[in-house]
Amino acid sequence: MSPTEADHALDQALALVSRNPGGGGHRPAAWSRAREAAARAGESVRGRTRQASLADALGEVLAAPLDALTDLPSFDTSAMDGWAVAGPGPWTVRAGGGVLAGADRPEPLADGEAVRIATGARIPADTTAVIRSEHSREAGTQLHPERPVATGQDIRPRGQECRSGDLLLPAGSLVTPAVLGLAAAAGYDELTTRPRPRVEILVLGDELLTEGRPHDGLIRDALGPMLGPWLTRLGAEVVATRRLGDDPDGAEALLKAVTGSTADLVITTGGTASGPVDHVHPVLRQAGAELLVDGVAVRPGHPMLLARLGAPADGRYVVGLPGNPLAAVSGLLTLAEPLVRALAGRRRRPRYALPVEGDVPGHPHDTRLVPVLLTDEHAVPLRYNGPAMLRGVAAADALAVVPPHGARSGQELEILDLPWASGGCFT
């Protein structure tokens, strides 16, 4: 998609998000439209590229096609340990050592001659076939086959896998461990990739402890330890996790942190509602940010937001998550995941559904996200799914998307896989 097309698509998505047919005041965006707006926002950004060593490219996305630099294999090789033979048997065994992988070009075989050969070794010229060791019998200087020999058997011919210049993988492919192996086999030392989007996390709140047990009105910070690893599994590079107070000086500190960050995405936790110490909205106004999503009709997590700092093509983003832990998870899956995937150049995750086991209560107007275990045939809802609870999602494989008014047992629901349950950064 070109930058112009991406900008147009984003404008359309934002129009859907902000539309209010009733003509009243602000209302939250529909859950699916909010996710679409987040994905379009990331796709509108000009993608940076870099030359990454194979050791550093894992989990990034190819920014250029991976073309074969040579034939693979680059010479005829033996597919098995055994004997290279010429002509019909029996064969006379060549005196001296055999042919090993990595050795210089071996001497050609004479008709009726055999020589020991190792897997991966270069095939001598005029070889008819390779016979596996277990399919032959030595008798003195003679080698006898113990089953029929087909011309070309157990020989990997030059270019069997690819020819020089062949397209191995298109741009946009995720660099998995298998891709690293293919690139190395094809002769690459570096890959042209889209770097991971850089993310800074700002955990807001005066009531948060970083160690020990909760006491005297103070609670442990559950989001600081969780968000960084979660975002890393989504494909981001987390550059920092910082904690800021929400006292009267908190707004100034937050403004300085948001405007001074060099990250592609700033994630905040808490402060997205309209309470006396909820500074996120006023700070974004001061920073000149454009609110793309301001509230989502989803439970838990409805006071989440997405804002853009700077121009659409090269701007930076802010995702404001609610402070309650499961509500923050909802915000991660609703806004942060599609945005991060798009900024990283990853394809959108395929959508799928499973029937739910048992009735699931719904909200009268909003979508619900409910932790579930996945079986071969069903999604099984878990308890402990309140906005401040993590017990359910800690045991879950995914979250099920429950429409307003709930779902009946057997009804198919869209499933959002959790990153550690679906292959993590390699998906």
Domains of the chain in start order, with CATH, are 3-48+196-343 (3.40.980.10), 77-156 (2.170.190.11), 353-426 (2.40.340.10)
Which are the contacts of 116, defined by CB distance < 8 A and separation ≥ 6? 82, 83, 84, 93, 97, 98, 99
pLDDT (tens digit, 9 = 90+) per residue, 237-283?
Answer: 999 999 887 776 778 889 999 999 999 999 999 888 877 677 899 99
Winning range, highest mean pLDDT, from 245-249, 378-382, 423-427? 378-382
pLDDT score, position 24:
39
Residue 141 phi/psi, 5-degree rounding, is: -95, 10
- Residue range 107-124: mean pLDDT, rounded: 96
Is the pLDDT score of 9 beyond 90?
Answer: no
pLDDT score, position 3:
45
Is the pLDDT score of 403 beyond 90?
Answer: yes
pLDDT score, position 405:
96
Give the three-state DSSP class for 243. Answer: strand
Which are the contacts of 100, defined by CB distance < 8 A and separation ≥ 6? 118, 121
Quickly count: other Cβ atoms within 10 Å of residue 143's Cβ.
Answer: 23
pLDDT score, position 278:
77
pLDDT (tens digit, 9 = 90+) per residue, 78-107?
Answer: 999 999 999 998 999 998 889 999 998 999
Instruction: Indicate the pLDDT class of residue 422, thresholds 50, 70 and 90.
Output: low
Q: Are the beta carbons of 52 and 193 closer than 8 angstroms?
A: yes
Kindly list the distances between the CA atom of residue 264 and the CA atoms of 42, 283, 310, 323, in Å, as whole numbers in the listed order.
10, 18, 11, 22
Is the pLDDT score of 421 beyond 90?
Answer: no
pLDDT score, position 267:
97
pLDDT score, position 191:
98
Is the pLDDT score of 21 beyond 80?
Answer: no
pLDDT score, position 18:
44
Phi-psi sector, 27: left (phi>0), alpha (psi -120 to 50), beta: beta
Name the amino acid, one letter, at 72: L
Winning range, highest mean pLDDT, from 21-30, 205-214, 346-355, 400-409? 400-409
pLDDT score, position 279:
85
Give the three-state DSSP class for 336. Answer: helix
pLDDT (tens digit, 9 = 90+) per residue, 48-83?
Answer: 899 999 999 999 999 999 999 999 999 999 999 999
pLDDT (tens digit, 9 = 90+) per residue, 179-190?
Answer: 999 999 999 999
Instruction: Indicate the pLDDT class of residue 230, thresholds 50, 70 and 90.
Output: very high
Instruction: Indicate the pLDDT class of residue 19, thresholds 50, 70 and 90.
Output: very low
Q: Counting runs of H as helices and runs of E as strands, what totals does the chain give?
A: 9, 27
Pairing of strands 290-294, 353-355: unpaired
Nearest to 120 by CA among 81, 68, 161: 81
Name the amino acid, one letter, at 367: T
Residue 4: burial class (beta carbons within 10 Å; 0-12, 13-18, 19+): exposed
Nearest to 205 by CA among 221, 189, 227: 221
| Percent of the chain clearing pLDDT 70 (strictly above) | 91
Pairing of strands 77-78, 155-156: antiparallel
- Residue range 207-236: mean pLDDT, rounded: 84
Averaged pLDDT score across all residues of the chain: 89
pLDDT (tens digit, 9 = 90+) per residue, 297-316?
Answer: 999 999 999 999 987 777 79
pLDDT (tens digit, 9 = 90+) per residue, 134-163?
Answer: 999 999 899 999 999 999 999 999 999 999
pLDDT score, position 57:
96
pLDDT score, position 329:
95
Is the pLDDT score of 23 beyond 50?
Answer: no
Instruction: Indicate the pLDDT class of residue 17, thresholds 50, 70 and 90.
Output: low
Is the pLDDT score of 5 beyond 60?
Answer: no
Pairing of strands 82-85, 190-194: unpaired
**Total residues found in the chain within this entry:** 427
With both helix axes pointing from N to C terminus, report the angle between 31-43 and 3-18 in degrees, rounded to the nearest 10.
Answer: 160
Instruction: Indicate the pLDDT class of residue 407, thresholds 50, 70 and 90.
Output: very high
pLDDT score, position 243:
86
| Percent of the chain clearing pLDDT 90 (strictly above) | 73
